[in-house]
Amino acid sequence: MILKYNIIILKYISLILIFISLSFPANSDLSVEETIKGRKAIFSKNYKTAKRIQALSTNGDFEKAKSLMLEMSENYRSLIEYFPDNTQEGYDTEALPIIWENKNEFNNLMIKASNNMIKLTEVVEQTDNISGTLKSLMWSNCKACHSKFREEH
C-alpha cells in the first residue's frame, strides 16, 4: 500500500514538473516586475495553502491536505528560480539583500521546505499531534525564511 502511494506521489510530482518546465519561460524571458510579482504570488499562495492544509488536517481530510502539500512542495522548488540578481529591488519586493548574499543558504531552505512538505504527506495521518507535526514540518520553514530573508512589515 505504501509503495503504491509513493508511486502515485512520484507520478503526481513528475506531472507537475513537466507542466512547470513546459509553461515556465526562462528567467531571461521574464521582466523584473513579472519575476518579483510572480514570487510574491507564489509565497502568498503558499501561505493560503498552508492555512487550508491546517484546517483540512485538523478535520481529518488527509487526502485533500496531502494534495495541497505536494502543491506547496513544488512551489518551494520553483521559487529558487524567482531570485535572479536583477530582482533585488523594486516593485515592493520584501526580499532582503541577504538572499543574494547567501544564495545557497536560501536555496537550501527552499529545498528543505519542499522536502518537508513531501515528508508531511507521509506522516500526517499517523501522528498523534497534528498541530505539532504541521508546526515542525510546515510552519517552521515559513518562520525560518521570514526571520532571515524577508523585510518586517
Report helix, strand or coil for 83: coil
Write down the pLDDT at residue 15. Answer: 65
Q: How far apart are CA 104 and CA 126, in angstroms?
A: 33
User: Any bridge partners for residue 95, and if so which?
Assistant: 150
> Cell digits for 10?
512520484
Report the top-level CATH class of 33-149: mainly alpha
The segments of the chain whose pLDDT lies below 50 read 26-27
Q: How far apart are CA 56 and CA 21, in angstroms?
A: 29
Domain locations in the chain? 33-149
Write down the pLDDT at residue 122. Answer: 95
pLDDT digits (tens, 9 = 90+) for 80-107: 999 999 999 989 899 999 999 999 999 9
